Amino acid sequence: MKSLTPHGEGFSFLDTFEITSASRRGRGTKWLDPKLSFFADHFPGKPMMPAVLLIECAAQTAGALWASKLGSTAPAHFVLAQVLQFKILRSVFPGEKIETAVTFENSLGKLAQFEVVLSVNNIEVARGRIVLGADADQVVI
């Protein structure tokens, strides 16, 4: 199966993606296979998804939205340039499916800001604002 992101299979946190509102909003999902390697050590006996990987889910979903917005002019990949704010509201566990809703807020040249909301079973688990960069070699904040 081809990844929806430029990441390798072991670091793709986006199984599905859809535009929900004219290039301004999108939604992605990721089912958390209990066999994912990070669950073995985070934490033994009580595995949960590392919070930083929730941010990665948000970044990858925002990247898919921005790429669809830019179309053929989109770069090969985007980078997470800044986490403006991010709040974890509850832990996420193996076997759960994360739904990530992203809203394009503002473009600043090679940077774009997104609002992100992550949910499991329609219960919000995290939210925040992130900035992606369109050129990994030239992003300076």
56-106 pLDDT, tens digit per residue, is 999 999 999 999 998 888 888 899 999 999 999 999 999 999 999 999 999
Q: Residue 5: pLDDT band by 50, 70, 90 thresholds?
A: low
- Residue of 7, 42, 77, 97 marked active site: 42
DSSP 71: G
Q: 105-125 b/e with 16+ CB inside 10 Å = b?
A: eeeeeebbbbbbbbbbeeeeb
| pLDDT the model gives residue 22 | 86
Predicted confidence (pLDDT) per residue in 43-60, tens digit: 999 999 999 999 999 999
Q: Residue 141: pLDDT band by 50, 70, 90 thresholds?
A: very low
Determine contact, residues 29/99, Cβ cutoff 8 Å: yes
Does 57 or 135 have the greater pLDDT score?
57
Active site residue 42: yes
